[in-house]
Amino acid sequence: MVAVAVLRRHVAARPTWRCRVCAAPWPCAPSRLGLLHEYADDPVGLSVYLCVLLHEAAADLLGLAEPAADPADLFHRFVGWHRTHRAGR
């Protein structure tokens, strides 16, 4: 039997940008796989989408009482993983 969490789509909970299913920083590994599948024929579209989300996340995270996230870490978290994945093809 497949766990219910596996069947649910891993999406971000704003403003913390943590996964609603597994609570990992979003995009978590399952969401990355889903995005790669969803944008399999449009890697440039995925890059644009991830850049938009990076800017939204940066704005949200700046408004939290927690210490601000490092811009380089946010870049790798939202965009860099996709660039690394594409380079490894």
What is the per-residue pLDDT for 2?
Answer: 46
Q: Residue 25's Cα: distance from chain center in Å?
A: 8
Q: Whole-model pTM?
A: 0.80
The total number of structural domains in the chain stands at: 1
Percent of the chain at pLDDT above 70?
Answer: 82
Give residues with Cβ within 8 angstroms of 10, minimum separation 6: 19, 20, 21, 22, 26, 27, 28, 30, 31, 34
Question: Coil, strand, or helix at residue 13?
Answer: strand
Domain that holds residue 22: 4-87
Give per-residue pLDDT as tens, 5-19.
455 789 999 999 999
